[in-house]
Amino acid sequence: MTILTLAILVGIGSFAAGLLGSLTGLGGGIIVVPMLMYVFRVDFRYAVGASLVSIIATSSGAAAAYVREGYTNVRVGILLEVGTTAGALVGGALTGIIDPSVLKILFGLLLVFTIYRSLQPRAEHEILSTPDRWATRFRLDSTYPTPGGRQHYSVRNVPGGFVLMFFAGILSALLGIGSGIIKVLAMDQLMRLPFKVSTTTSNFMIGVTAAAGAGVLLHLGYIDPTLAFPVMLGVLAGALLGARLLTRANVKWLRQLFTLILVVSAARMLYDGIRSVL
């Protein structure tokens, strides 16, 4: 394939991934890597490099809007970014050491977990108002906009959330993903932030986590400009359009389509990884 043909096709595919990722709220990174590998026959490492760079673009683009709406908890974000960036540097250091087939298995397992989480009903837990020692120490409690005005919420289990963020950072650099699913899990389930605050703060952090990992991958030679540009521009354009269409689109069948792609990708990744390990 010539560079021109590849750029056009990868650009279209990445646009679709960005669009689907932003409409379903599950992010594009997790399907960009399998797409590059299994549709365009790209080596795992190049796919990870291109994907991680594109994640910075979409995260920063979306975070800009959310931050201004007042959902994002900047203090929680900054504090937990210590964990994710440290994790991303560790992940970047591990990436040259761990065999790619092991990473494919890890990717497959994360896809399975993503499918499991996306099929679960999204129940909003009760908003806590009792102060926690760590949350008070770091002044993490805040307010967020609700139809009835800004509501106060308390944060808990900061150390647990911090540890989970460290692992989210490692996975981000190793697999070229935003690890949004783990970040939201940590903040929503463990630290008990309101769901909308968890997702927007996660998005806010993804850019920083990905930037830490991408810096390391750049030095390792994983980021190829010819492959990365159609991925980055495609995913960014798709995500921007997705954000505009969000209120009008029929998300239900899009989620089903996304889940189907995740299932196929998971099966392929696990099969590939296990076969080459055996």
Partner 1 sequence: MNQPESRWSDHAVEQIIGRLLQLGVLLAAAVVLFGAVLLLVNHGGTIASYREFQGEPAELRTIAGIVRGAAALHAAAIVQLGLVLLIATPIARVGFTLVAFILQRDRTYVWITTVVLVLLLFGLVFGRGAA
Q: Which residues bind partner 1 (CB under 8 A)?
A: 1-4, 6-7, 36, 40-46, 53, 56-57, 59-61, 63-65, 67-68, 70, 72, 74-75, 78-79, 81-82, 85-86, 88-90, 92-93, 96-97, 138-139, 207-208, 210-216, 218-230, 232-233, 236
Give 273's Cβ-side CA count (13 Å radius): 20
DSSP code, position 129: -
Per-residue CA distances from 129 to 67, 126, 155, 250, 254 (Å): 23, 10, 8, 35, 36
The beta strands (E) that lie in 62-198 are given as 142-146, 149-153
Name the minimum Å distance from CB 225 to partner 1. 4
Please report how close the Cβ of residue 94 comes to partner 1 at its closest, in angstroms: 8
- Tell me how far, at minimum, the Cβ of 166 lies from partner 1, in Å: 12
| Residue bearing tokens 């009792």 | 130
**Amino acid type, 251:** V
Sign of CA dihedral 107, 217, 83, 73: negative
Nearer to partner 1, 220 or 251 (CB): 220
Minimum distance from CB of 65 to partner 1 (Å)? 7
Q: Considering the complex, what minimum distance in angstroms separates the CB of residue 194 from partner 1?
A: 17
Calculate the dihedral angle through the C-alpha atoms of 223, 227, 231, 234, rounding to the nearest 10 degrees.
140
Q: Which is nearer to partner 1, 125 or 219 (CB)?
A: 219
Residues in a beta bridge with 150: 145
